[in-house]
């Protein structure tokens, strides 16, 4: 049995999409729950498999969970047990590395399996370790396991990251929130999900300032209390639908978005020919004229997001004039291009970039998702292609896109889930 998407391309998209909560904001907040021995209500959780896996990890550790709706939970980790971490589940996602910071903060120790997630070549954790060690942790990587302890307790420290790593910044905040004294992280990641984590913890009584800038100050507090919190909208899900409509032509309204987070994506879409009108919580986008090429270069926020570069690739294939994508965050994030080539895309690989001559005709083919966003790129390619695309290994896509088939069908796409 191999679940797959069947996509008949060539239909323009039109209608409205409600954007869900941001997976990469929800994951650190879910692990941060370990620091709060009290009841928390979380709203706008995206119903995707990475979130489900994380909830299972927390429940197997002893968290009490009530589902209020498909996107809201009530949860209390007061009885969580650090020795009950289901190691087999932690290897399924990258965010399980957040168990280190959260476990150290709550229990003074943590164990997790080697974090999994999308394969972009080497995904080191050295910046996470530097931060946690500066706070007093001892990390002992064993075969297939990461063990951390803080024999003398965690104490505030000052540290500059070599690269604004999202994960290391999250782990530093988690470990420092309940540590003794003040922690200052400079060279920190500035992504909206870092701000969301700080806002959540502050709503629970933490003292975190500067999130969203490259210097974050955390004054440790002795305890955190429960709260009700709504996760921010997913800028990557929103950007993915914008690329889809820019590729197929037509017009779309996106509801429940945070427009400021989308600026780095709207800029290139406008250059490529999309007409976009933004208001406070929604936007409309249409493309009725030609699709033009452009050059994209990924960078940490507020630069153009690496998590959006694959979705632009089919557009560059179809565009007049083509373009280039420089990948500056990950050293291996072009695996999906081999699949796009099966659909007729011409892509010329370089050292840390890919060239797209443009003017291609995409045709349906049997392809597979190599990773989450690469899979989304192939969905977009399928929607723009002539004929039928069969897209396999969709488990990667289901990690991050809630109700993709339903949402696309509602805006006129011909897409179904098959199982053979």
| Residues catalogued as catalytic | 118
Q: Name the minimum Å distance from CB 95 to ligand EPZ.
A: 4
Answer whether the bond into residue 302 is a cis peptide, omega within 30°.
Answer: yes
Nearest distance from residue 361's CB to ligand EPZ, in Å?
Answer: 28
Length of the chain: 420
Q: Which is nearer to ligand EPZ, 113 or 273 (CB)?
A: 113
CB of 171 to ligand EPZ, least distance (A): 9
Q: Token pair of 16, please? A: 């409205």
Distance from the Cα of residue 126 to its chain's centroid: 20
Beta bridge partners of 21: 233
Specify the residue for token string 């197929």.
Answer: 248
* Residue nearest ligand EPZ, CB atom distance: 167
Q: How far is the CB of 121 from ligand EPZ (least distance, A)?
A: 8
Neighbouring C-alpha atoms within 13 Å toward the C-beta of 321: 10
| Under 8 Å between Cβ of 244 and 380 | yes
Q: Which residue number, 75 or 131, has a Cβ lying nearer to ligand EPZ? A: 131
The edge-to-edge listing of strands for the beta sheet with 72-76 is: 64-69, 72-76, 39-43, 228-230
Looking at the Cβ atoms of 307 and 398, the one nearer to ligand EPZ is 307
Pick between residue 26 and residue 208 the one whose CB is nearest to ligand EPZ. 26
Beta bridge partners of residue 111, listed in sequence order: 147
Residue 157 to residue 68: CA distance in whole angstroms: 39
Q: How far is the CB of 239 from ligand EPZ (least distance, A)?
A: 11
Distance between CA atoms of residues 31 and 42, nearest Å: 12
Measured from the CB atom, is 187 or 344 closer to ligand EPZ? 187
Tokens of residue 26, six digits? 């929800």
Phi and psi of 332, rounded to 5°? -150, 80
Expressed in percent and rounded to 5, the helix, strand and coil fractions of the chain are 35, 30, 35
Of 158 and 366, CB closest to ligand EPZ: 158
Q: Is 225 within 8 Å of 56 (Cβ atoms)?
A: no
Residue 280 CB neighbour total at 10 angstroms: 8
Binding residues vs ligand EPZ (CB under 6 A): 24, 27, 94-95, 118, 123-128, 163, 165-168, 189, 306-307, 329-330, 372-373, 400
167 or 250, CB closer to ligand EPZ? 167
What would the DSSP string read from start to end of 123-135?
Answer: ---HHHHHHHHHT
Count CB-CB contacts under 10 A for residue 84: 12
Residue 193 CB, shortest distance to ligand EPZ, in Å, is 6
CA distance 90 to 107: 18
**CB of residue 194 vs ligand EPZ: minimum separation in angstroms?**
10
């Amino acid at each position: 049995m191999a679940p797959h998407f069947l996509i008949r391309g060539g239909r323009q998209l039109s209608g409205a999409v409600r954007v869900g909560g941001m997976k990469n904001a929800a994951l650190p907040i879910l692990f941060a729950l370990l620091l709060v021995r009290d009841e928390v209500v979380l709203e706008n959780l995206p119903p995707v498999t990475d979130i489900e896996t994380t909830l299972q990890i927390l429940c197997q550790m002893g968290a009490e969970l009530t589902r209020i709706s498909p996107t809201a939970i009530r949860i209390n980790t007061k009885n969580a047990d650090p020795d009950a971490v289901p190691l087999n589940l932690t290897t399924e996602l990258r965010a399980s590395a957040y168990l280190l910071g959260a476990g150290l903060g709550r229990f003074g120790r943590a164990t997790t399996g080697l974090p999994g997630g999308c394969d972009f070549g080497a995904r080191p954790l050295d910046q996470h370790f530097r931060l946690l060690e500066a706070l007093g942790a001892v990390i002992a990587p064993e075969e297939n396991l990461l063990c951390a302890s803080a024999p003398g307790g965690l104490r505030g420290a000052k540290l500059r990251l070599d690269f604004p790593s999202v994960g290391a910044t999250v782990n530093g905040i988690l470990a420092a929130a309940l540590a003794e004294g003040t922690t200052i992280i400079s060279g920190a990641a500035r992504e909206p999900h870092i701000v969301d984590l700080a806002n959540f913890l502050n709503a629970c009584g933490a003292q975190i300032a500067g999130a969203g800038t490259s210097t974050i100050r955390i004054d440790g507090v002795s305890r955190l209390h429960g709260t009700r919190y709504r996760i921010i909208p997913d800028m990557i899900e929103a950007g993915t639908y914008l690329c889809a409509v820019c590729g197929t032509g037509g017009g779309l309204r996106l509801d429940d978005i945070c427009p400021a987070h989308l600026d780095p994506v709207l800029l290139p879409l406008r250059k490529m020919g999309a007409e976009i009108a933004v208001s406070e919580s929604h936007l409309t986008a249409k493309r009725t004229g030609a699709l033009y090429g452009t050059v994209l270069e990924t960078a940490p926020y507020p630069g153009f997001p690496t998590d959006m570069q694959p979705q632009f690739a089919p557009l560059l294939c179809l565009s007049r004039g083509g373009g280039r994508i420089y990948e500056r965050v990950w050293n291996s994030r072009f695996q999906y291009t081999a699949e796009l080539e099966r659909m007729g895309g011409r892509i010329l690989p370089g050292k840390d970039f890919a060239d797209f001559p443009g003017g291609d005709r995409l045709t349906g083919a049997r392809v597979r998702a190599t990773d989450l966003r690469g899979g989304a790129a192939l969905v977009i390619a399928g929607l723009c292609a002539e004929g039928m695309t069969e897209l396999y290994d969709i488990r990667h896509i289901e990690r991050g896109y809630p109700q993709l088939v339903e949402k696309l069908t509602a805006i006129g796409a011909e897409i179904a889930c098959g199982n053979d």
